[in-house]
Each structure stands twice: as C-alpha cells, then as structure tokens.
Amino acid sequence: MNARDLNVDDLCHPEIEWRWPAATPGSSLFRGHEAVTRGLEQWAESWEALQMDPYRRFVAGDRPR
C-alpha cells in the first residue's frame, strides 16, 4: 500500500466486504475485490503521502487475540 499498489486480489477473499466507519465522510460498503480496490483508491486520494507500518502480521489460520 505504501507504493500505492491498492489491488487487494492477493490479500483478501473474493467476497470481501469492507465498510469505513460511520464517521468517515462518504462512508460506504464495498463488496468484492474491484469495489474494495476502488474504495481504497478513493481514500488514498486524500493523502499526498501515505506510509503504513504493520502493527501485527497474521499467517493464514492465525486468529487475533
């Protein structure tokens, strides 16, 4: 994401549903890879520079504690 590669095909299940918090301007529900990628592109347009640093990384099958 830091490189603005916002394609989620390899990161998320094909039937992903992503909703921004209600307080987010233009909050919407995005379903599927194409819609989530479009939503992330809209969000990223708000930032001149974007740097995301992972807090925690999960391996397939891991469950958050």
Q: What pTM does this model have?
A: 0.62
Burial of 39 (0-12, 13-18, 19+ CB in 10 A): buried
Mean pLDDT of the chain: 79
Instruction: List all residues 6 or more positions away from 30 whose beta carbon is below 8 Å from its beta carbon.
Output: 16, 17, 18, 19, 36, 38, 39
Dump pLDDT digits (tens) for 15-46: 989 888 777 776 688 999 999 888 888 877 87
Going from N- to C-terminal start, the domains of the chain cover 1-55
What's the pLDDT score for residue 57? 73
Question: What pLDDT is recorded for position 32?
Answer: 92
